[in-house]
Amino acid sequence: MSTQIAAPEIKMEHLLAALTAIKVLRSSVGQVFESLGNGLRAEHGEENKESKYLFELQELLTTVNLNLRDVEQMVNSLGTPPGPFNLANTSYLSQETTQERQALYSTLVNSYKWTDKVHEYSNIAQALLSQNSLKRSYTSSSRAKRGRIPTTNHNVPQQQVDNMISMLERMFNDLTVTVSRPSASNAVLHVTLGQVLQAVIAFKGLMIEWVVVKGLGETMDLWTESRYKVFRKVTENANAAMLHFYSPTLPELAVRSFMTWFHSLINLFSGTCKRCGLHLHSALPPTWRDFRTLEPYHQECKP
């Protein structure tokens, strides 16, 4: 019996070691790209600075090679999974012979993944929004005056959401908006901004819940980040803007304010930083837009 218990623990240790090795590898690769982005620096001195820089890159690449070897060894030590995961009675859905029921299993799995992600991100959003001073002031004032909790903007008719989306298309002619509803009546907008970028904006009723920004040509979905650092940084700033403009009592104004801010990213690769006047800083364009003036800033230059 002790042998049967010890085996899974050893496998778990191997898995944790492999994940740690991958994390170390990603860190070392990130250092290589950071060094390439910064180029020659003051610490290289004036004499033989090119040779010192090349020696630095050689050391970083050697470290990457060693870390990659560690990852390969860790992965090879992992055993093959014994079989598919047990999904209880739902696994019988994949054995349906009637054509109209054959797709039920894959649809059920996708629904489960969607619901699980929505639950995870909703918990994160709730924790952040509960710290918003605007929400606390609106809620406390409404309870004090009316003696009841104010109505929510999450449960609204679908037509009201469609009207708001149509209003956004009229406001910004250079935005291309495609609407889908993979989960009930909540809308997911695929927005293309000129020839600059694209974004997926998830709504719950009249409120924005989550934003993912990617470059044109990348596959769009709500759960994966862009492979480019510039768009990952824009995603972070877009979600910060979503929280900044959040208003439980004026949801349509909050959405219009956010979309106005988002539209200011149309000059992402052409605008210069308001503070330093440069296009690039640390190999990145000015990805921050001031919430009030919409002026572009680098992350390091923002006020």
Q: What is the pLDDT of residues 83-139, one digit of tens each?
A: 555 666 766 666 666 666 666 777 777 788 888 888 888 888 878 777 765 544 444
| Tens digits of residue pLDDT in 19-43 | 888 999 999 999 888 888 887 777 7
Total domain count, the chain: 2
- The domain boundary, picked from 35, 60, 77, lies at 77
Domain presence at residue 206: yes
- The domain boundary, picked from 57, 77, 97, lies at 77
Domain that holds residue 165: 158-266
Domain presence at residue 290: no
Residue reference for tokens 């837009």: 289
Residue 123 has a pLDDT of: 82
